[in-house]
Amino acid sequence: MTEAASSLAPGLYVVATPIGNLEDITLRALRVLGSADRIACEDTRQTQKLLHHFNIATPVLSYHQHNERQRGAELLALLQQGQRIALVSDAGLPGISDPGAEIVQLAIAAGISVVPIPGACAAVTALAAAGLDTTRFLFVGFPPSRPGERRSFLEALRAEPTTMVFYEAPHRIVPTLDDAIAAFGAERRVVVARELTKIHEEFLRGTLGEIHAALNRRELIRGEITLLIAGACPAETASAANAAQQSIQSRLAELKKLENLDEMDALKRIARERGLSKSEAYRELQRERSRKSP
């Protein structure tokens, strides 16, 4: 018998919920949420709004990043008693830049059935309409919020050949695009997908330089944002691989000449490219220079 024709079997149901438009809930998600014994949710108030809208009275309990460990053990005990637990996050798919992965792993390890109930996910929703290559992509999630860490994080993706999908907060999108220009160059194609499935849904498509300038002109940027950056073309991947193999001295000369950087900025860039601190890169440069001098 199919699941649809039977009553809900015991297990953990990982249920996608809308990322804005309530019409994006599936019939199956409504049935599972309505017939589960309990719904574990990231924010009970947020989920209650959804349940209220669809007249669902299933009891809820909170499961979020601050109680994941303790609540995970409690949820596991309920699952082992044969309960049907639905897991939801505030929006989209649980476990995708949201709590969920840990309870899924616990349940699998305990031999409990884990059933995905698919639906909206901002990353793939944005990708489907972005117009960038979709044959392969890398889901990156949120980049680090600290500027230095974010810069190095993006630098490390410089040669990534597939479309990259990021989540980003509206107040950080301009600084992140700034860092993306430093890492990928102003000509790399980018798509900013804002407020997907909502009234003010917007796609900004262009080069990093163009989209950075367009957003920088806005007084205030609101709403939820998924950022997609095209992968490196084969020539860029090859040049990044060459850069990594070059001596620091020759990379330094190249950056000074091609990008007009002064010695200090070029060295900072090289340190980021190679995952070194500035002083390590400087020491390595000194070693190279002393090896070459007679």
Kindly tell me the burial class for residue 9, based on how many C-beta atoms sit within 10 Å of its own C-beta (0-12, 13-18, 19 or more).
exposed
The answer to whether the beta carbons of residues 215 and 178 sit under 8 Å apart is: no
* Rounded Cα gap, residues 38 and 58, in angstroms: 6
Q: 20 or 231: whose CB is closer to ligand SAM?
A: 20
Query: What is the 3-state secondary structure of 114-179?
Result: EEEECCCCHHHHHHHHHCCCCCCEEEEECCCCCHHHHHHHHHCCCCCCCEEEEEECHHHHHHHHHH
Q: 46 or 249: whose CB is closer to ligand SAM?
A: 46
Min dist CB 194 to ligand SAM, Å, is 6
* Rounded Cα gap, residues 155 and 158, in angstroms: 5
Q: 159 or 221: whose CB is closer to ligand SAM?
A: 221
Min dist CB 13 to ligand SAM, Å, is 16
Q: 16 or 281: whose CB is closer to ligand SAM?
A: 16
CB-closest chain residue to ligand SAM: 92
Min dist CB 118 to ligand SAM, Å, is 11
Min dist CB 18 to ligand SAM, Å, is 9
Q: Within 13 A of 273's CA, how many CA atoms are on the CB side?
A: 25
Tell me which residue has tokens 């949120």: 142
How many contiguous H segments (helices) and E segments (strands) does the chain have? 12, 10
Q: 75 or 228: whose CB is closer to ligand SAM?
A: 228
Min dist CB 174 to ligand SAM, Å, is 15
Residues at the interface with ligand SAM (CB under 6 A): 19-20, 89, 91-93, 96-98, 121-123, 167-169, 193, 195-198, 224-226
Min dist CB 197 to ligand SAM, Å, is 6
Q: 11 or 92: whose CB is closer to ligand SAM?
A: 92
Identify which of 59, 17, 7 has the alpha carbon closest to the alpha carbon of residue 38.
59
